[in-house]
Amino acid sequence: MKKLKYNKKIFIKALVYILELLAVSLFVYLIFLPFYPELKYRAVYNQAEKAEESKEIEKVEEKTSEAIKGLPESDYAVSPNRLIITKIGVNAPIVQTDNEAYGLAMGAWLMPDGSTPDKGGKTIITGHRFKYLPPSNLTFYLFHKLEVGDIVSVVWKESKYFYRIKEVKVVDNNDFSIMEPSNKSLLTMFTCHPIYSTEKRLVIVSELIKKK
């Protein structure tokens, strides 16, 4: 009987210790997680030549093809069209819908006010800055790392469109000038700014440089 009680006490102590360890691990995990994408980005792009890869069309083409090959069929069920930004780990389905909430929940929302890559003009895409625990290929968490000269890829109806960033700017969230149509083949993307706030918009304007 005494041995049974002794074993029970040991079991309870071990269980309490495990639960405490799990609680501490969860706390550290939640604290560290938001910084993980930033740390990963620095690890990958800690050298100048690495950062320059995002500006080289050949490198971006290669990485875009690799990103497409690795997609499961379930991703294509959402949309066969993709927005791929290799520099910041974005590989999201482009969702065509009039329902903003649905479009943003499923990936990158193609705004009905704009055009599409195959028609020319201004294609307008927006996405959540932070929705899922990072890292997530569906959100624009590291959008602030994009620079003029970087190349963004769009897979649209089995064709690949490559756009070079020509402007990065922050505007008020009620500034609708970015929706204005254009005769040029442009890709305008935007998301909330700063992270965890809807006060402003971080806008990336790119111009088509190649179709494949």
- What pLDDT score does 23 carry? 65
Query: In the chain, what are the domain boundaries?
Result: 55-211
pLDDT of residue 75: 73
Full-model pTM: 0.79
**What CATH class is the domain 55-211?**
mainly beta
- Looking at the DSSP bridge assignments, the partners of residue 205 are 167, 188
Instruction: Quote the distance between the C-alpha of residue 38 and its chain's center.
Output: 13
pLDDT score at 47 = 47
Q: Compute the CA torsion angle 155, 157, 159, 160 (nearest 10 deg).
A: -10
Joined tokens for residue 197: 């706030």
The series of mean pLDDT values per 10 residues for the chain, 212 residues long, is: 56 67 58 59 54 84 86 77 92 94 94 95 94 77 93 95 97 91 96 90 97 92
> What pLDDT, in 10s, does the model give residues 23-66?
665 555 555 555 666 665 565 555 445 567 788 999 999 989 88
- State the Cα–Cα distance between residues 173 and 170, nearest whole angstrom: 9
What per-residue confidence (pLDDT) applies to 71? 73
pLDDT of residue 135: 64
